[in-house]
Structure 1
Amino acid sequence: MQYIGDDRFIHEFGPDMAPVATLRPGERATVRTVDCYCNVLRRDGDPWLELRKHVPGPNPATGPIAIEGAQPGDTLAVSILDIRPDAQGAMNVRAGVGGLGDYVEGCETRVFGISDGAVDFGGRKLPIAPMIGVIGVATAQVNGAICTETPHMHGGNMDDRHITAGATVYLPVSQPGAQLALGDVHALMGDGEVAICGLECAAEVDICCELIKGRAEQWPVVRDAAGCYRVNCSADTLDEAARLARGALLEFLERRLDGMTRNHIAMLMSLVGDLEIAQIVDPLVTCRMGIRAGILPELKF
């Protein structure tokens, strides 16, 4: 298994990125990631507003990692085999920032220990659910460079709590080699990421990449550990992200459910489809929509 260290990372996804490693389809790799604060918050009270002046940029993502044979028009399927967070995670909240910026005061850093599958939150044991916040590929030329803080068609900072061990992320390939990068691991995060962060931690992530040749969706698709497919769409507003997500799911299903009309798919989506918020705190917000697990066992990407 190839090991890809955290000494090479990006702060933006672009159309022209040089890889730091190369994987063959089907080859497994362990990817080491730093946290979204570049690992500088180590103790309660660490001054993030001062320390961030000395880090190279936001939301570092380890990579890029080239996948042999990947070409524009393909889909890169990234299976998340395992996520092992470090023994502590950091959070920082501050006034005026995030979905609760009108409620919190000042700027506060807290660091929490992680052990035995739980975070010690002031004496309360919260079971962890490690997930990947940032995962994406090189952008299309027309979209230019996009900061790792921002989600878009290439993936990026989707902050989807379903990107856990056992999930597969399907990303549309826009450049030769795909150029995968990932980071911003959270030991725990709720839908919305309302205080602008999850429990941010460095981690090791085991992945295996496969190629689906000559076929791609416009937006990233996540198959969770239970087998539910969800389409993730990002936009300036929740209304627009939700509109994109429900339309993208309908089209995804229409291409795969032979014999079912568009009207019938719309009815199915209204009965057993769930339109959800992934995050509301990035430069673009993200909504996802999928059909509940077990309803369409025959569904494949």
Structure 2
Amino acid sequence: MIRLFVRLLVLALLCAALAIAALAWYATRPLHWTGDAIEYTLRPGTSLRQAALQIESAGVPVDGRLLGLIGRFAVDGTRLQAGSYAFEAGHTPLQLLEQMTRGDVSLREIRFIEGWTLRQMRAVLAAHPDVKQVVAGMDDRTLMTRLGSDAQWAEGWFFPDTYLFPAGDSDLDILKRAHHAMRRQLDAAWQKRAPDLPYASPEQALIMASIVEKETGIEADRATVASVFVNRLRAGMPLQTDPAVIYGLGERFDGNLTRAHLNTDGPFNTYMRRGLPPSAISAPGRASIEAALNPARTDYLYFVARGDGSSVFSRTLAEHNSAVDRYQRRPAKMARK
């Protein structure tokens, strides 16, 4: 009887060893399929067993029951990290599990362009198929409160950059990252600002940077354009910047800025009101922020676009009118002939 028990025990141990060896072989066997990587999104709260079966259902040629068994022995199933994963052909079942415990998620991309408005950023977020929609219908003041910001206006407070994110991240998550990035950029530039600038706060510097962003066609002109507006602020002159008026018109602007627009009072009409507008008019990039806080030292009060992206700068109104005649009025007259 004892001899039979020993034999059965040995047989059981041998079977167990063979099973473990087979499972180990299966765990390290590369998985092959044709086509691109297979994507799988692991939702928060999903168990190891559920995840293994879902991966099989997603199209990965793996036995979900065996994958779950491998996970019980080879990895800590409680450490699976939620997110979107791209499983590549040639990976082993064990590597798939390790990928999820490390949190090696596949990332999507979204880009905010320098000079964009928040409305444009919202539209891009709303159109992205992998962004969870949260802020749709949320007004700007509520948005800033959700972001934990005390800024009075939302415009300009989101840094233009390329942001990588896992599928399923919300538009609020991405805007929060962009807002924090703008805070960091602005705070760093504010600490290194030129002395005696006519800004009462970093927010006013942001407003100026947004104007510089919209008024500048080439990198080399940014600091000089900033100097013109700074000189005008110091002299108590109106800024007379068209992009601010256009921003104030909003959806009413049809692409043609008229004399009537310039003569209609409003908070963003920098022809009729002196000083900075109440908020930024766009999202400035790093170069425009630097230019606003470290403008060139000039005595220019005017500039006009040449038509090639660059500008002509003038000290007096007479010089400016001459430049306008040369680069805007006369070419327009010639074009009409």
Q: TM-score range by the shorter chain?
A: under 0.3
Larger radius of gyration: 2
Which has more strand, going by share of residues?
1
Which has more helix, going by share of residues?
2
Greater RCO, CA 8 A, separation 6+: 1
